[in-house]
Amino acid sequence: QVTLKESGPVLVKPTETLTLTCTVSGFSLSNARMGVSWIRQPPGKALEWLAHIFSNDEKSYSTSLKSRLTISKDTSKSQVVLTMTNMDPVDTATYYCARTHSDGYNLDYWGQGTLVTVSS
Amino acid sequence: QSVLTQPPSVSEAPRQRVTISCSGSSSNIGNNAVNWYQQLPGKAPKLLIYYDDLLPSGVSDRFSGSKSGTSASLAISGLQSEDEADYYCAAWDDSLNVVVFGGGTKLTVL
């Protein structure tokens, strides 16, 4: 079955760089019609899409966060990595990764999410 | 301020029907598929409707989606207490080249 699991630090300091890894199983990152997105949700707030990457290495980034985000994949390891630079307390959120279909951009399988707190 | 506009909350009695609206523009809803997600308290979101009106396998047919122009709607019939959740619409935006989400709607079953 399809699963995704986020991993990374639970606590980062302001100005540090956050690196999150999404490990997938049940599908291949080389599948032409599928990719992985990152989405975050601050406590008590709405979902915010961050970025996605597809098998052909096509990438898109949130307009407001583009300068701070980098998404990449390691197909052999079935992993997608998101880095976010210059972390701030407002970046405190649960970060999710989700399988994404290239036609329609629906996110059909989600990880459980990982809460990242930014604090000194 | 979200690109897609949803009412912050809706409420209805059990066994009744409720609709949640999602308003956008020609660059998102008007030209691309709308997807809906359900987020139960403390849980990860779940795909509820895709391509405007299609149900993923395993989703109850009490849920339905529709779209007209630059607006979309999610309808839930035969409301049950277990439907209490936050609901989000989302779509690709051709102008911004990003996925945009609505601000979410909290459904309360009275």
Note the pLDDT tens digit of each residue in B44-71: 999 999 999 999 999 999 999 999 999 9
**Other beta carbons within 10 Å of A120:** 9
Task: Point out the residue among A37, A111, A112 whose CB comes nearest to the CB of B99.
Answer: A37
Both tokens of A120, joined, read 């000194």
With an 8 Å Cβ cutoff, are A46 and B2 in contact? yes
With an 8 Å Cβ cutoff, are B101 and A105 in contact? no
What are residue B42's phi and psi, to 5 degrees? Answer: 75, 10
* d(CA B11, nearest CA chain A) in Å: 19
Residue given tokens 């779209």 in the structure block? B67
- Which residues, at least 6 apart from A119, have a Cβ–Cβ distance to it below 8 Å? A11, A13, A14, A89, A92
Stretch A27-42: mean pLDDT:
94
Give residue B1's pLDDT. 80
Instruction: Say if residue B2's pLDDT is above 90.
Output: no
A54 pLDDT band, cuts 50/70/90, is very high
Instruction: Note whether B36 and B89 are within 8 A (CB).
Output: yes
**A48 part of contact set with chain B, CB < 8 Å:** yes
**Other beta carbons within 10 Å of A75:** 13
Report which of B34, B33, B44, B32 is spatially closest to residue B102, judged by C-alpha positions. B34
With an 8 Å Cβ cutoff, are B101 and A49 in contact? yes
Report which of B14, B31, B109, B99 is spatially closest to residue B69, judged by C-alpha positions. B31
